[in-house]
Amino acid sequence: MIDFLTEYEALAAEIAKEARMSEKAFGDRIDALKALTPFYIQKMKGVKKDDDSDGLPNFDNFTSQIHATENLS
């Protein structure tokens, strides 16, 4: 038996995939993004914030990139 969270994740993935289709109107894409944002937030709560090796953007690596760019000037 598939649990609710597995089904919910599959539905979110399906919505995201359909929203990216070229024939979808821009407004429909925005609505899908708004609908998926709470799901994304919940998924990201489990990601360790201290681990920079996951490649996800965060304020610290964003700041580091800005400083690195400033040092090149």
Confidence (pLDDT) at 11? 85
pLDDT for res 62: 72
CA distance 62 to 69: 11
pLDDT in tens, 24-73: 888 888 888 888 888 888 877 876 655 555 666 677 777 777 767 666 54
Q: What is the pTM of this model?
A: 0.48
What is the residue extent of each domain of the chain?
Answer: 4-72
Look at residue 12 in the predicted model and tell me its pLDDT: 86
Spatial distance between the Cα atoms of 10 and 14, rounded to a whole number of angstroms: 6
Distance (Å, whole) CA 35 – CA 31: 6
DSSP 3-63: -HHHHHHHHHHHHHHHHTSTTS-HHHHHHHHHHHHHHHHHHHTTS-SS-GGG----HHHHH
